[in-house]
Amino acid sequence: MTGYEMFWPMVAHAVLVYILYALLGLRRQSAVKAGTIKRSQFRENYAADEPAESLVVRNSIANQFELPLLFYACSIALFVAQADNLAAVILAWIFVASRCAHAYVHVTSNDLRYRSPLFAIGYIALAGMWVWLAIWMAFS
């Protein structure tokens, strides 16, 4: 691979995060308008009584800065090591697709029967990326 294919999944994940932040703002604004919470309760970026509709989005955003941190690190390392071949890019897209699906379930039904397998798919895809990086470095 000769281009920046490894970075497109990273861009897609960043778009997901921005969408989640927009959704959080909309849901919080709706909650304030409905009178279920006061705007001032968000001053410290933590509202103990945050409505479930926006709380699940806030939690989903937090999830986008946990395991994905390892995704960004591995993606950049794969690119720098020139190990960003088709297999690595496919694994990266699987990871991002699983994060998108996981976030969708998280902010809609929040059903663990669906969320957990989606998390596992991303977890395994990311593990595959790290294994590929280790193999590449060991045998290059």
> DSSP labels for 29-76?
HHHHHHTSS-GGGGTTS--TT--HHHHHHHHHHHHTTSHHHHHHHHHH
| 1-51 confidence digits (pLDDT tens) | 668 999 999 999 999 999 999 999 999 999 999 999 988 888 776 667 889
Strand residue runs (E) in 30-73: none
44-76: b (≥16 Cβ within 10 Å) or e: eeebeebbebbbbbbebbebbeebbeebeebbe
In the prediction, which pLDDT does 47 show? 66
How far apart are the C-alpha atoms of 68 and 62, rounded to whole Å?
10
How far apart are the C-alpha atoms of 106 and 98, rounded to whole Å?
12
In the prediction, which pLDDT does 106 show? 97
In the prediction, which pLDDT does 1 show? 63
How far apart are the C-alpha atoms of 106 and 126, rounded to whole Å?
20
Tokens 């929040």 — which residue? Answer: 110
In the prediction, which pLDDT does 110 show? 96
In the prediction, which pLDDT does 137 show? 97
| 56-103 confidence digits (pLDDT tens) | 999 999 999 999 999 999 999 999 999 999 999 999 999 999 999 999
Q: What angle do CA 53, 58, 62 make, to 5 degrees?
A: 150
In the prediction, which pLDDT does 43 show? 77
Which domains, ranges and CATH numbers included, belong to the chain?
A: 6-139 (1.20.120.550)
Instruction: Report CA torsion sign: 78, 81, 85, 87.
Output: negative
Single pTM value for the model: 0.94
